[in-house]
Amino acid sequence: MSRLFLIGKIVNTQGIKGEVRITPFTFDIKRFDLLDEVILKKEKFEDKIILIEKVRYHKQFVIIKFKNIDDMNTAETLKNYEIFITEDKAIPLEENEYYHVDLYDMEVYAEDNEFLGTIQKIIETGANDVYVIQKEGEKDLLIPAIRQCVLNVDVENKKMLIHLMEGLR
């Protein structure tokens, strides 16, 4: 099966006609306009593939009307479901871009081949991401995802080579 990418979470209903309010977990929220279906997941519940009827936007939220969800009570049952898409529906990457899912648990090495730890968290700052690198027994290392620091990313082998700029350690 194709990898799944988390793109949002249903946080509430919207109105009385079955719409749901979604907090998006994607840089380009307009990407929801390109989808005709999504996969809904929630702990201990079976995954649901559900068709999208209509998408609109309100403030920082995405408002979706799913097919066959026509009232607020039915929409309420979808609250707290996470929204996933398959990899084939993901926005294509440009050169030197990576899906966050590919970076988690990636081993990170300095230029001198020193093992620095693994990426355990990615902080989105707006200007650039920051990789949180953890190594047992050591303080977290915060590395900005900029060309001056990130020298090479080998997704296939889950390895990243970085230049430790002065003051980062």
Q: Which domains does the chain have, with CATH numbers?
A: 4-88 (2.40.30.60), 100-162 (2.30.30.240)
10-66: pLDDT as tens digits: 999 999 999 999 999 887 888 899 999 999 999 888 899 999 999 999 999 999 999
Residue 95 to residue 127: CA distance in whole angstroms: 18
Strand boundaries in the chain, DSSP class E: 4-14, 19-24, 37-41, 48-58, 61-66, 82-86, 107-110, 115-124, 129-134, 141-144, 150-154, 159-162
Which of 13-17, 24-28, 76-80, 118-122 is predicted with the least confidence, judged by mean pLDDT? 24-28
DSSP at 98? -
Q: Is 81 exposed, middle or buried (0-12, 13-18, 19+ CB in 10 A)?
A: buried
* 3-state DSSP assignment of residue 56: strand
d(CA 63, CA 84): 16
pTM: 0.71
